[in-house]
Structures are given as C-alpha cells and as structure tokens.
Copies of this chain bind each other. A is one copy, B any other.
Amino acid sequence: MTPYYTGSHKHLIAIDCIIFGFDEGELKILLHRRKFEPEKGKWSLMGGFLQPDESIDNAARRILKGCSGLTNLFMEQLYTFGETDRDPGERVISTAYFALIRIDDYNKELSLETTAHWWPISKKPALIFDHDKMVEMALERLKIRSKNRPIGFELLPRKFTVPQLQSLYEAINRRNLDKRNFRKKILSMNLLQKLNEKEKKTSKKGAFLYRFDKRKYNRLAEKGFHFEL
C-alpha cells in the first residue's frame, strides 16, 4: 500500500440494504430499529459501514447474511447517496443495495435479530435519513426488473401457483392484471413446470403448483426478457 494519494480526504461509507419479501399477497420490506445514536430506536434499513478489506458487494452480502442468515440472495446495487448532510451524525456516503428474500426461507432460520420486522410496503413507518427515498427508488427498480428479469421467482416459495405469481406481479406493479392474459403470457415462455400437486389452502377447487425450469430461468436471468402486461 503505497501512499500515492496522501492529502486526499477520506470518507465513511455505509452500505444500506432494501430487502423485499412477499407474503400473504403483500410486498413486504425488512426493517429494524436502529441500535445507536443518532436516531437510535427509529426504524431504519439494514446497514453497516464498509470495512477496509471487503468490496462493496461483499459488504452488502455480509449485511444480508447478518440479518437473514441467508447467502446467495438476489442482490443488486441500487444507487449511491452522497449529500453532505444526509446523516446528521457525521458525513457518510451510502451505497444502497436491494435484495429479494423468500420469506419462508427467512423464517426457517429463526432470525437472531428480534428488532427486525417485515413491514407491508403500504404500511411501513417513516424511516431515518434518506432511507425513504432509497425504498422508493428500490420499488421503482423492482418494477423495472420484474419486466426484464425473472426476479419474481426469487420472492415466491419454490412451488407456487399461477394466481400467486400473478398477485406478486400485481403487488410490484400496483395494478390488477387480467388473469387470462397473465396466464397465457407467462406459460408461453415455457419457464414454468406444472406439477401434479395442488395448493388447496386458498380455494376449494385448488390450484396447480408449478416450479420454474432452472435452465430457462438462468438463461433469462442473464440475458433478460420482456414481460409487459
């Protein structure tokens, strides 16, 4: 480590994670009460400071693992927030990431964090600093991604029904979709494998379960696709 850049000012860098889940037909976000000053006790995104020896992506992975117990989550850098006064404690630059979790996977690892809570997006409390703006931006990004990546599936259980998948898309895009058009389009991608089981909790008739075809899923996850309704 040669001192090439001595004289230049250094900064604190935080990583904040917007973590989405989907449960009971609602899009939810994982928040916790901040553990230190300033704004101690207020609702906040999951976050932490960047350490000297980790890349920012790895810092995000560390934070995600710390609050969910899970690794290999879908995760994507969102934006870097750099207003001088965004943190009243001290100047901190924050790079935000958004991530997707299957809530039932999360529940299995009974979360250590008892201060954490899944909030339905529509009822979430006000957050500290510029975290509300981060959430807003993440929702926007999620909407875009739902149209060009098969990310919806990162949020559902491994087996799911078509109506469940539809209600996820409806939650993300905040509008109702025609079920005939939805089914037609999603099935025409040959991305779903129909199983011989039915989910019978939500209706008397029961709905067939599906899972996604890993090969096609992975290809679409890289190349992108187009799913507009």
Contacts and interface: CB of A to CB of B under 8 A. Distances in A.
A196 interface: no
A213 interface: no
Interface stretch (A52-60, A67-75, A215-223): A52-60
A12 B10 contact: yes
If over half of A's interface residues share one DSSP class (helix, strand or loop), that class is named, otherwise mixed; here it is loop
Question: Which interface class (under 10, 10 to 19, 20 to 34, 35 or more) fits A?
Answer: 35 or more
- Chain copies in the assembled complex: 2
A204 interface: no
B53 A82 contact: no
A224 to B, nearest CB: 11
Interface stretch (A87-95, A99-107, A118-126, A153-161): A87-95
A37 interface: yes
A130 B31 CA distance: 34
Contacts of A79: 77
Nearest to A84: B55
Contact of A90 (B3, B82, B83): B3
A59 B49 CA distance: 22
A91 B52 contact: yes
Nearest to A60: B82
A38 interface: yes
Contact of A51 (B1, B9, B51, B90): B9
A173 interface: no
Contacts of A37: 4
A18 to B, nearest CB: 15
A13 interface: yes
A167 to B, nearest CB: 27
20 contacts: A2-B38, A2-B89, A2-B90, A4-B37, A4-B89, A5-B12, A9-B49, A9-B52, A10-B10, A10-B12, A11-B12, A11-B13, A13-B13, A13-B93, A54-B84, A56-B80, A56-B82, A59-B82, A80-B95, A82-B95
